[in-house]
Amino acid sequence: MSIIANFQIPYTQFLDHTGDVVQPLPEFALDCENLTPLYRAMVENRTFDAKAIALQRTGRMGTYASSLGQEAIGVGIGSIMREDDILVPSYREYGAQFWRGVRMKEILLYWSGDERSNNFENQKTDLPICVTIGAHPAHAVGVAYALKLRGKNQVAVCTLGDGATSKGDFYEAINAAGVWNLPLVFVVSNNQFAISIRYEQQTAAKTIAQKAIAAGFAGEQIDGNDVIAVRHSVDQALQKARRGGGPTLIEAITYRMSDHTTADDASRYRSKEELSEQWAYEPISRLRNYLIKKEAWTKDEEDTLIKNSAAIVQEEVDEYLNTPPREPSSMFDHLYENLPAAYAEQQAELMEKGSAHV
């Protein structure tokens, strides 16, 4: 017998959960001036998150999927993508979307069911949030294929959850990405849960990263709560893709600190103790600890950041709350070139009754 294939999955972490450096930092992280914007963005993300949940709880938004504890992934990705790269996101990487120009107001409108929000004011090329689990990696393949044909060294970045990697369409997508050597980076937020289903219940694979090996390209694991590791690994993968080196799968290990969504109650399937232990590993305090140790962050700066983040979020919330609802009849817009008679009748009825009908 001989061995015809062998593989290894590297794991990268720069800051441990206390904020101590565990290996030499990449170039960008040597200057704390490059790290404070990442810190600010994570705090803004978390402030937004808390407000979004409060809006839902007080009946002013439909439902919401929180990114609590996962902020480093979105922020790390957003901060290193080129402006003309394309983000193909699922629904927890708000940090990446905000960095790339999507407004908080638009995310709030999205979760209140207003599809107009997907026509982002300041971001015209990224795809909207995809809630259909496992569907959008195939869309990302299409996007990356188009980028490759255009030949401008642009890259598509697709974010998804661990649960999505158990779907058949995910395997189709990585297979196509591999065989076509596409400029595509998959970032899987392994937050340990697909709603109430734990990692071990949905896959026997030791890592998600190794799923890429079957598709013929590299997979790696990183500490997804270490924003330096996220930014560094995504940077490497983007550079590789721009050089024609094809796709990469990055499995970012994290933990979902929130309920799955506001429609879920995670206390039914995980203990208080488990959750409280995880607070020691979340991404914001470790970077703050590091910056404080380097004397690059003060109490005054922290207070100002908290105040400013609250003001930024509140302004967006006010705009969200002041956005007039869509006319009910608009649900028929863009459905058909020529609306079938049955729908046309319903549309006319709604137009007659106006918003007062709902």
Beta strand pairing status for 197-198 and 193-194?
antiparallel
Closest CA to 235 of 160, 174, 185: 185
Nearer to ligand TPP, 193 or 281 (CB): 193
Beta strand pairing status for 193-194 and 184-190?
unpaired
Q: Residue 147, exposed/middle/buried by CB under 10 A (0-12, 13-18, 19+)?
A: buried
Q: How far is the CB of 211 from ligand TPP (least distance, A)?
A: 13
Q: How far is the CB of 125 from ligand TPP (least distance, A)?
A: 24
Q: How far is the CB of 256 from ligand TPP (least distance, A)?
A: 6
Please say if 256 is a catalytic residue.
yes
Separation of alpha carbons 191 and 205, rounded Å: 15
Q: How far is the CB of 1 from ligand TPP (least distance, A)?
A: 37
Nearer to ligand TPP, 65 or 177 (CB): 65
Q: How far is the CB of 301 from ligand TPP (least distance, A)?
A: 31
CB neighbours of 177 closer than 8 A, spacing ≥ 6? 140, 141, 144, 184, 186, 215, 217, 246, 247
CB neighbours of 80 closer than 8 A, spacing ≥ 6? 231, 234, 235, 238
Please say if 171 is a catalytic residue.
no
| Catalytic position from the list 17, 103, 136, 260 | 260
Please say if 94 is a catalytic residue.
no
Nearer to ligand TPP, 189 or 233 (CB): 189
Nearer to ligand TPP, 154 or 165 (CB): 165
> Applying CB under 6 A, which residues contact ligand TPP?
92, 131-133, 161-164, 189, 191, 193-195, 256, 260
Q: How far is the CB of 102 from ligand TPP (least distance, A)?
A: 18
Nearer to ligand TPP, 148 or 256 (CB): 256
Residue with tokens 């699922």: 90
Under 8 Å between Cβ of 32 and 6: no
b/e sequence 250-279, b meaning 16+ C-beta within 10 Å: bbbbbbbbbbbbbebebeeebeeeebeebe
Question: Helices 71-80 and 283-293: crossing angle, nearest 10°?
Answer: 70
Structure token digits, residue 339: 């609306």
Nearer to ligand TPP, 132 or 239 (CB): 132
Under 8 Å between Cβ of 308 and 301: no
Nearer to ligand TPP, 141 or 194 (CB): 194
| Distance from chain centroid for Cα 219 | 18
Beta bridge partners of 252: 189, 222
- Nearest residue to the partner ligand TPP, using Cβ: 161
| Catalytic position from the list 57, 198, 269, 357 | 269
DSSP-derived 3-state class of residue 88: strand
Q: Phi then psi for 197, rounded to 5 degrees? A: -90, 120
Q: How far is the CB of 193 from ligand TPP (least distance, A)?
A: 5
Give residue 295's region: left, alpha or beta (phi > 0; psi -120 to 50). left
| Distance from chain centroid for Cα 106 | 15
| Catalytic position from the list 46, 231, 256, 286 | 256
Active site residues: 256, 260, 269
